[in-house]
Amino acid sequence: MHRKEIPMVANRKASLPVIYGDTPSFLGADVVHPDWPENGYDVIVAGVPWEGTITWGSFSGCELAPKTIRHSSARYGGYLPEYDLDLFDYLKIGDMGDVPVISNDPAGTMKSVHSVMKKVYEKKSIPFILGGDHSISPEVVKALSENAEGNIGIIHFDAHLDNSKSFGNDMYPRCGPLHRIAQIEKVRKASIVHMGIRGPRNSPSQMAYAKEMGARVFSIREIRNRGMEAVMDEALDIACTGTECIYVTICSDCVDAAFNPGGPADFDGLFPHELFYALNRAGQSKIAGLDIVEIYPGQDPRSFSSHLASWAIIHALSGMALKKKGAGNL
């Protein structure tokens, strides 16, 4: 089967490499062992099927999302007519399966994520992570910081600032990854950018903390008033100033609830095309890692949010391919 014909081939899923059981690799990418011997993969996809403390009501089950996102990706290839480009012509992508998690040991799970991501960076690959909840992101950034020579900028797509310093007795709250990320020495606080912040599930103390550390907050109102193109220009300028690379972390609720049935009920969010444009631009920049988190398959029987995640990742990868092709900012 020729890769460029894949989206149109009947029973495509049955012919794709599998991670385990009947779960295919993301976009049919090569399946690689965590200790793969060779370098040369531009991007390594990894799942982190982890969910820690539930912070609100029935929104749970995001540990199942790596599987549903991979299954949704079986519908797609790497060609986007918007850019007349097939990302597989420029990028070598592998899928290493899921990072081991320990359900009754949050600290052990975080160590596992960090250890595996450190190996990915040592192989000179860029990890694209399928979460899981948002608590895992700092461990990836920590691994990046141990392999980067310079500082790191952060672009954070979310409805919420997610910089809480604590949540009960949970040392790794899903509402606090940006606080933990900001404590990493090589993360330049003035190059932390929050995108799409909105709604009544934020607090004044969180906004004050973001401003205190020097982070830039783009509310949904500012994005609507100025347009995503202008905002993303500024966001990339901030994230790239004084940094060697940028890390992108995406909570599904950055997208409006109407387009994200597998996410929280957070309205007035980004439209998919705004997120896709922003991720494509980030891919054309000095991206060194990406995660997409907080998708709850149990409330989304048709996996719309998992398909949205696949589209988002494809747009980011296409940005990387455009950069490698030398045709960025189309």
Residue 2: band (very low, low, confident or very high) from pLDDT cuts 50, 70, 90: low
Query: What rounded mean pLDDT belongs to the chain?
Result: 93
Domain map (residue ranges) of the chain? 3-325
Q: Which residues pair with 194 in a beta bridge?
A: 156, 217
Interval 55-86: pLDDT, tens: 777 778 999 999 999 999 999 999 999 999 99
pLDDT-derived band at 268 (thresholds 50, 70, 90) equals very high
pLDDT value at position 166? 80
Residue 1 pLDDT greater than 60, yes or no: no
First and final C-alpha spacing in the chain: 31
CA atoms within 13 Å, Cβ hemisphere of 20: 9
pLDDT of 285 reads 98
Band (pLDDT 50/70/90 cuts) for residue 37 is low
Confidence of residue 12 (pLDDT cuts 50, 70, 90): confident
E strands, 170-296, in order: 187-197, 216-219, 245-251, 287-293
Q: What is the pLDDT of residues 146-159, one digit of tens each?
A: 999 999 999 999 99
The CATH code belonging to domain 3-325 is: 3.40.800.10
d(C-alpha 196, C-alpha 198), whole Å:
6
Q: Based on C-alpha coordinates, what's the Rg of the chain? A: 18
Asked if pLDDT for residue 325 goes beyond 80, the answer is: yes
pLDDT of amino acid 175: 86
**100-109 confidence digits (pLDDT tens):** 999 899 999 9
Confidence band of 182 (pLDDT split at 50, 70, 90): very high
Average pLDDT over residues 251-265: 97
For residues 62 and 68, the answer to whether their CB atoms sit within 8 Å is no
Task: Give the model's confidence band at 40: pLDDT under 50 very low, under 70 low, under 90 confident, else very high.
Answer: confident
Judge whether residue 41 has pLDDT over 70. yes
H/E element holding 246?
strand 245-251
User: CA 63, 174, 263, 129 torsion: positive or negative?
Assistant: negative
How long a stretch of residues is the chain? Answer: 330
Residue-level pLDDT at 5: 64
Who wins on pLDDT, 134 or 3?
134
Q: Which residue has the tokens 């950055």?
A: 254
Percent of the chain with pLDDT over 90: 84
Residue 4 has pLDDT above 70, yes or no: no
What is the phi/psi pair of residue 155, to 5°?
-115, 120
Omega prior to 132 cis, within 30 of 0:
yes
pLDDT band at residue 6 using 50, 70 and 90 as cut-offs = low
Identify the DSSP state of 83.
Answer: T
pLDDT at 330 over 60: no
What pLDDT shows up at residue 159?
A: 98
Percent of the residues in the chain that have a pLDDT greater than 70, as a whole number: 94
For the segment 182-205, the average pLDDT, to the nearest whole number, is 97
Query: Which pLDDT tens digit goes with each residue over 209-247?
Result: 999 999 999 999 999 999 999 999 999 999 999 999 999
What's the pLDDT band for 9 if we cut at 50, 70, 90? Answer: low
Mean pLDDT value across residues 187-213: 97
Phi, psi torsion values for 196, nearest 5 degrees: 90, 20
Residue 236 in 3-state DSSP?
helix
